[in-house]
């Protein structure tokens, strides 16, 4: 309703302003006609009368009286009364006007009469033409105009009203459309467009507003995309910070136990207490604990390097990279009598070869370590739209592998032993997760009671 009221307001303003100007123009025109038409009418009739008389004088030169009479009779058709006189004031000719012939007199012309007396030079004599013509009195002309005024003014006012309405509608429609568009722009609705396509300034304004809306829409979309990227980056940073805090807590707990063990063993050997008198045995035990701590610290350093190192992307063949990693585990695969099925197709991806190589190393090591002797490791590459899906599946597993949700977390082990083959440091798959996150690769790890499947998606270059 508010918009409608404003629309009526601007249309009404234009209508009343235009109507007022047209009313003034109509009344001024009628007033001008009332004031000037009577005098102009009299001047026009006098000019026509004297022009006719001059034409008669010119045409009658050197003519006979018999030739002059038909020419003079034409004057009666124009409402001119005349008479023809000889030089001694004898009536020569006068048509029948229903009254006596006229004769030139001095200052005896009645009001509303035009009179003239012309000498005509004929071929045999000179005659005098006296003529007069009645014109409508000026006061009567004004009275006629006053009677006609209503029939002139009212139709003109109706036409003026219609013209004012059409004009106000024509002018206000694009203004209202442009005003509404600017309101939408102010409310950050950049999809709005005006549809006024004239070649005047309003058309230029409409096109400029459309261009402004297009520019603002593109800018806003770009800002929203940038904000979304920043939001995702902030979310990733938040997740990394949470994982880092979790890692620090897990490392603190992980190192506390071996440090306590080593401290107790060293104190027992220093005090030469009980079983700790066998120093060689407990020194070897302490050395094993220190080696485990050293491997854990090395893994931690590698995680830190992955988070900080610069990426160097290059075209990499997935099949060749996987085969190179499998060659490193050849002896272990043979010892466990595992069956490995490698992919056949060649897929090239643009990635950091060094980091991806480290991730594949850990994934294959995990698959080999947790596959039962005589089991199978199936490596598949499946083409998808704009990319390829890599799947590494190992089965059967040495234990129930249904719960794989936390395997990407730091210091999480499928088997809680310290066996160098099965226990590990608990950072292998966490490192894989960090690498895949750095390479912006979507990765999942799923499991069933006797099977584990690692899946990731690559965008291909060929």
pLDDT(104) > 70: no
The CA–CA distances, whole Å, from 13 to 6, 136, 164, 175, 329 equal 11, 46, 11, 13, 90
Greater model confidence, 331 or 418: 331
> CA torsion angle for 409, 414, 417, 423 (degrees, to 10)?
-70
Q: How much of the chain is helix, strand and coil, in % rounded to 5?
A: 60, 15, 25
Q: Is residue 439 classed as helix, strand or coil in its secondary structure?
A: coil
Burial of 279 (0-12, 13-18, 19+ CB in 10 A): middle
pLDDT(352) > 50: yes
Peptide bond before residue 396 is cis, with ω within 30 degrees of 0: yes
DSSP string, 194-244: -----SSHHHHHHHHHHHHHHHHHHHHHHHHHHHHHHHHHHHHHHHHHHHH
pLDDT(338) > 60: yes
Q: Is residue 118 classed as helix, strand or coil in its secondary structure?
A: strand
């467009």: which residue's tokens? 193
């020419």: which residue's tokens? 71
pLDDT average, residue stretch 444-453: 87
d(C-alpha 43, C-alpha 33), whole Å: 15
d(C-alpha 393, C-alpha 454), whole Å: 6
**292-306 pLDDT, tens digit each:** 777 777 777 777 777
d(C-alpha 231, C-alpha 326), whole Å: 39
Q: Is residue 81 classed as helix, strand or coil in its secondary structure?
A: strand
Greater model confidence, 402 or 275: 275
d(C-alpha 410, C-alpha 299), whole Å: 11
Q: What is the per-residue pLDDT for 138?
A: 65
Q: What is the per-residue pLDDT for 56?
A: 84
Lowest mean pLDDT among 169-183, 384-398, 439-453: 169-183
Q: Which residues contact 383 (CB under 8 A, 6 or more apart)?
A: 345, 347, 460
Q: What is the per-residue pLDDT for 377?
A: 92
DSSP string, 261-297: HHHHHHHHHHHT-GGGG-HHHHHHHHHHHHHHHHHHH
d(C-alpha 86, C-alpha 234), whole Å: 125
Burial of 131 (0-12, 13-18, 19+ CB in 10 A): buried
Specify whether the CB–CB gap between 255 and 235 falls below 8 A. no
Q: How far apart are the first and last CA of the chain?
A: 61
d(C-alpha 346, C-alpha 316), whole Å: 10
pLDDT(404) > 80: no
pLDDT(55) > 50: yes
Q: Which of 261, 396, 401, 379 is nearest to 323 (CA)?
A: 379
pLDDT band, very low/low/confident/very high, at 393 (cuts 50, 70, 90): very high
pLDDT band, very low/low/confident/very high, at 5 (cuts 50, 70, 90): very low
pLDDT band, very low/low/confident/very high, at 100 (cuts 50, 70, 90): very low
Lowest mean pLDDT among 30-44, 94-108, 122-136, 186-200: 94-108
């950050």: which residue's tokens? 188
pLDDT band, very low/low/confident/very high, at 7 (cuts 50, 70, 90): very low
Overall pTM surpassing 0.75 (yes/no)? no
**57-87 pLDDT, tens digit each:** 888 887 888 888 888 888 887 888 888 888 8
Specify whether the CB–CB gap between 394 and 358 falls below 8 A. no
Q: What is the per-residue pLDDT for 6?
A: 46
> CA torsion angle for 272, 274, 276, 280 (degrees, to 10)?
90
Which tokens in the block code for residue 461?
């270059």
**185-241 pLDDT, tens digit each:** 888 787 888 877 777 777 888 888 888 888 888 888 888 888 888 888 888 778 777
Average model confidence (pLDDT) for the chain?
80
Q: What is the per-residue pLDDT for 254?
A: 65
pLDDT band, very low/low/confident/very high, at 15 (cuts 50, 70, 90): confident
Specify whether the CB–CB gap between 287 and 279 falls below 8 A. no
Q: What is the per-residue pLDDT for 122?
A: 81
Q: What is the per-residue pLDDT for 457?
A: 92
Q: Which of 198, 194, 204 is nearest to 170 (CA)?
A: 198
* Antiparallel, parallel or unpaired: β 91-93 and 113-121: unpaired
HEC per residue, 157-187: HHHHHHHHHHHHHHHHHHHHHHHHHHHHHHC
Q: Is residue 75 classed as helix, strand or coil in its secondary structure?
A: helix
Domain edges within the chain:
2-156, 191-308, 311-462
Residue 317 belongs to what H/E stretch?
A: strand 313-317
Q: What is the per-residue pLDDT for 462?
A: 61
Which tokens in the block code for residue 284?
């070897």
Lowest mean pLDDT among 108-112, 245-249, 331-335: 108-112
CATH topology of domain 311-462: Heat Shock Protein 90 (3.30.565)
**406-436 pLDDT, tens digit each:** 676 665 655 544 444 444 556 778 888 888 8
């Amino acid at each position: 309703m508010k918009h409608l009221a404003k629309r009526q307001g601007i249309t009404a303003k234009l209508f009343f302003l235009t109507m007022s100007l047209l009313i003034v123009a109509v009344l001024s025109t009628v007033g001008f006609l009332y004031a000037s038409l009577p005098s102009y009418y009299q001047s026009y009739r006098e000019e026509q009368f004297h022009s006719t008389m001059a034409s008669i004088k010119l045409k009658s030169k050197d003519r006979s009286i018999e030739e002059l009479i038909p020419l003079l009779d034409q004057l009666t058709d124009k409402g001119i009364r005349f008479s023809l006189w000889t030089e001694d004031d004898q009536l020569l000719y006068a048509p029948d006007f229903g009254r006596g012939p006229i004769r030139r007199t001095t200052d005896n012309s009645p009001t509303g009469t035009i009179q003239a007396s012309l000498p005509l030079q004929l071929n045999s004599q000179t005659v005098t033409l006296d003529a007069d013509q009645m014109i409508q009195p000026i006061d009567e002309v004004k009275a006629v105009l006053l009677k006609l005024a209503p029939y002139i003014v009212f139709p003109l006012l109706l036409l003026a009203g219609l013209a004012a309405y059409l004009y106000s509608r024509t002018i206000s429609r694009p203004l209202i459309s442009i005003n509404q568009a600017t309101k939408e722009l102010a409310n950050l609705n950049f999809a709005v467009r005006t549809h006024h396509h004239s070649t005047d300034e309003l058309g230029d304004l409409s096109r400029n507003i459309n261009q402004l809306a297009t520019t603002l829409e593109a800018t806003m979309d770009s800002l929203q995309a940038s904000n979304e990227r920043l939001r995702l980056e902030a979310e990733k940073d938040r997740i990394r910070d949470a994982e880092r805090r979790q890692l620090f807590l897990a490392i603190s707990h992980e190192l506390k136990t071996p440090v306590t063990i080593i401290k107790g063993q060293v104190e027992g050997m220093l005090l030469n207490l009980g079983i700790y008198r066998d120093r060689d045995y407990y020194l070897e035990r302490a050395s094993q604990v220190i080696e485990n701590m050293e491997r854990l610290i090395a893994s931690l350093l590698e995680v830190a390097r992955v988070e900080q190192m610069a990426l160097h992307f290059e075209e990499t063949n997935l099949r060749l990279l996987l085969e190179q990693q499998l060659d490193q585990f050849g002896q272990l695969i043979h010892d466990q009598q595992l069956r490995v099925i490698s992919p056949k197709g060649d897929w090239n991806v643009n990635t950091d070869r060094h980091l991806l190589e480290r991730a594949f190393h850990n994934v294959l090591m995990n698959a080999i370590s947790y596959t039962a002797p005589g089991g199978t490791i199936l490596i598949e590459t499946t083409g998808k739209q704009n990319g390829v899906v890599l799947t590494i599946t190992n089965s059967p597993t040495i234990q129930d592998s249904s719960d794989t949700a936390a395997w990407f977390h730091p210091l999480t082990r499928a088997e809680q032993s310290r066996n160098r083959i099965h226990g590990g440091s608990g950072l292998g798959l966490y490192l894989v997760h960090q690498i895949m996150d750095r390479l912006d690769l979507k990765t999942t790890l799923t499991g069933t009671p006797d099977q584990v499947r690692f899946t990731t998606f690559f965008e291909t270059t060929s």
